């Protein structure tokens, strides 16, 4: 009897779920969601083919250093790298002495407390320090950025779909709002203080274009600093900050595949050896 009751209850649940699925699908067909500017005019980033992409991807150290230079001279005024330490820069080709110099000369110093007076103070950065925050708190960040808080960039390429390509597209994607969009969706006109960017989720972003002209950064290795090149380089650098162990992960994955292939071959050979005299 108990088993019969449980079967009836289970069947009831299945029936209710089937009804819910049916009416949900019916409503979606009969009353489709209204068109939106975000859905129609949002663009997806193109592949910029970074050297770190793909199964065998590796970082280009020179590009990472150029990307760090772009971050330092363009992005660091607003965006933090709170999960990255200065000494991590040794992994992209900087020497220990260069890292010490970068940390010591960084514009923003580390907050501390004066041991004699107990008052707030600052000190020079050390290689073991993480990159300091550009603003003291969220209130200061909002006050300096049109009431928007600039996001931390440490993990940005992991936090966004197709992150490396997204960063490049976002940086280079600023343009005038198309007249067709305003005609079709009058209420979607970019508000004052925001900037139209079709690669941003809601098309309007508070951050002004960070790269305004070619040559905005002078690369130490002589590479021509076009806007596209600078965007590619900082995208590569932020890919590294989000996944500094990418090369080791790729190497481990490749080794695992080789091991599995060898194991399968040995297992097949053992199978053949054990069963070779068995008559079917």
* Residue 230 is labelled as binding a ligand: no
* Residue 75 is labelled as binding a ligand: yes
- CA 143 – CA 217 distance, rounded (Å): 27
Residue 20 burial (C-beta neighbours within 10 Å; 0-12, 13-18, 19+):
exposed
- CA 177 – CA 175 distance, rounded (Å): 6
Specify whether the CB–CB gap between 163 and 107 falls below 8 A. Answer: no
Dihedral angle over CA of 88, 93, 97, 98, nearest 10:
-90
Dihedral angle over CA of 129, 231, 138, 101, nearest 10:
20
* Residue 207 is labelled as binding a ligand: yes
* Residue 78 is labelled as binding a ligand: yes
Binding residues for heme c: 75, 78-79, 207
Q: Which residues are annotated as part of the binding site?
A: 75, 78-79, 207
């Amino acid at each position: 009897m108990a088993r019969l009751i449980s079967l009836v209850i289970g069947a009831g649940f299945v029936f209710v779920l089937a009804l819910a699925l049916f009416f949900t699908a019916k409503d979606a067909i009969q009353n489709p969601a209204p068109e939106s500017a975000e859905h129609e005019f949002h663009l997806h980033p193109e592949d910029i083919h970074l050297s770190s992409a793909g199964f065998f991807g590796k970082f280009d150290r020179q590009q990472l250093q150029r990307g760090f230079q772009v971050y330092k001279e363009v992005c660091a005024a607003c965006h933090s790298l709170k999960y990255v330490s200065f000494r991590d820069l040794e992994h992209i080709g900087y020497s220990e002495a260069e890292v010490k110099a970068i940390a010591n000369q960084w514009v923003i110093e580390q907050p501390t407390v004066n041991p004699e007076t107990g008052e707030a103070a600052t000190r020079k950065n050390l290689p073991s320090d993480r990159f300091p925050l550009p603003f003291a708190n969220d209130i200061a960040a909002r006050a300096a950025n049109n009431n928007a808080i600039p996001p931390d960039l440490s993990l940005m390429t992991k936090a966004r779909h197709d992150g490396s390509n997204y960063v490049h597209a976002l940086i280079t994607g600023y343009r005038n709002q198309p007249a067709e969009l305003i005609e079709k969706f009058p209420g979607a006109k970019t508000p004052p203080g925001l900037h139209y960017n079709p690669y941003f989720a809601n098309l309007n972003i508070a951050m002004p274009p960070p790269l305004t002209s070619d040559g905005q950064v002078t690369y130490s290795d002589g590479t021509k600093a076009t806007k596209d090149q600078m965007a590619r380089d900082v995208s590569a650098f932020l890919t590294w900050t989000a996944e500094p162990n990418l090369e080791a992960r790729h190497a481990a994955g490749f080794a695992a595949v080789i091991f599995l292939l060898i194991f399968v071959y040995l297992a097949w050979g053992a199978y053949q050896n054990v069963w070779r005299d068995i008559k079917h």
